[in-house]
């Protein structure tokens, strides 16, 4: 097994464990919950086969769903952002993405921040929409997505800057 595969297997497992053992038990103000696990999808190599990214996104969300007993909410949300990842990368990074010269941890602050925020808010809007699954809870969906999204974006961006800097 190559070091590359081992690195991503460890990241996958560590992010799941951090999410289910620590972060899922944190509720600021009763409803703000950070979701660090989506960092795995965000930080995958740019040139990785899209099918693998989609399968990894589904597997990641399914693992979180199994631990949290949430019935596919996380699997659907991570599958969605994994599918749309190339489009968001192109929107955020432009020509760097088109020429496959992009290294996420070496990108400009503004571009990296835009990428993280867009991916996190798409994930959170879909996740909370599926969780509530009613138009009657639109305000709660938007409030939870916005506040959890802000907290998750800060946590993910900080982790990218600190851990992936090396």
Q: pLDDT digits over 28-38, tens only?
A: 877 788 999 99
Q: Which of 1-5, 111-115, 117-121, 150-154 has the lowest mean pLDDT?
A: 1-5
Q: DSSP readout, 1-12?
A: --HHHHHHHHHH
Is the pLDDT reported for residue 11 higher than 80?
Answer: yes
Give pLDDT tens digits for 92-111. 887 666 556 666 666 778 88
3-state secondary structure of 165: coil
| pLDDT given at position 102 | 66
Of the chain, the percentage scoring pLDDT greater than 90 comes to: 48
What is d(CA 48, CA 95) in angstroms, rounded to the nearest whole number? 18
pLDDT digits (tens, 9 = 90+) for 53-93: 999 999 999 999 999 988 899 999 999 999 999 899 888 88
Look up the domain containing 117 and give its range.
Answer: 3-162
Q: 41 and 57 in contact (C-beta within 8 Å)?
A: yes
What is the spatial distance between Cα 48 and Cα 149, in angstroms, rounded to a whole number?
26
pTM over 0.85: yes
What is the percent of the chain where pLDDT is above 70? Answer: 89
Residue showing tokens 């659907």: 76
Helix (H) or strand (E) holding 156, with range, is helix 138-162
- Residue 142 CA to residue 71 CA, distance in Å, equals 21
- Check pLDDT > 60 for residue 120: yes
The CA-CA-CA angle for residues 131, 45, 115, to 5°, reads 55
Structural domains of the chain, count: 1
Q: Residue 112: pLDDT above 60? A: yes
Q: What is the mean pLDDT of the chain?
A: 87
């Amino acid at each position: 097994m190559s070091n590359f595969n081992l690195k991503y297997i460890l990241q996958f497992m560590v992010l799941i464990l951090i999410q289910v053992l620590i972060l899922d038990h944190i509720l600021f103000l009763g409803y703000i919950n950070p979701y660090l696990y989506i960092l795995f999808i965000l930080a995958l190599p740019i040139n990785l086969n899209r099918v693998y990214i989609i399968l990894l996104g589904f597997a990641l969300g399914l693992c979180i769903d199994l631990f949290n007993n949430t019935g596919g909410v996380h699997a659907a949300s991570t599958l969605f952002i994994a599918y749309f990842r190339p489009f968001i990368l192109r929107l955020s990074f432009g020509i760097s993405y088109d020429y496959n010269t992009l290294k996420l941890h070496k990108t400009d602050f503004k571009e990296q921040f835009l990428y993280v925020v867009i991916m996190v808010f798409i994930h959170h809007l879909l996740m909370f929409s599926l969780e509530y699954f009613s138009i009657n809870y639109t305000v709660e969906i938007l409030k939870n997505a916005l506040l959890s999204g802000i907290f998750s974006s800060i946590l993910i961006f900080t982790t990218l800057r600190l851990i992936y800097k090396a």
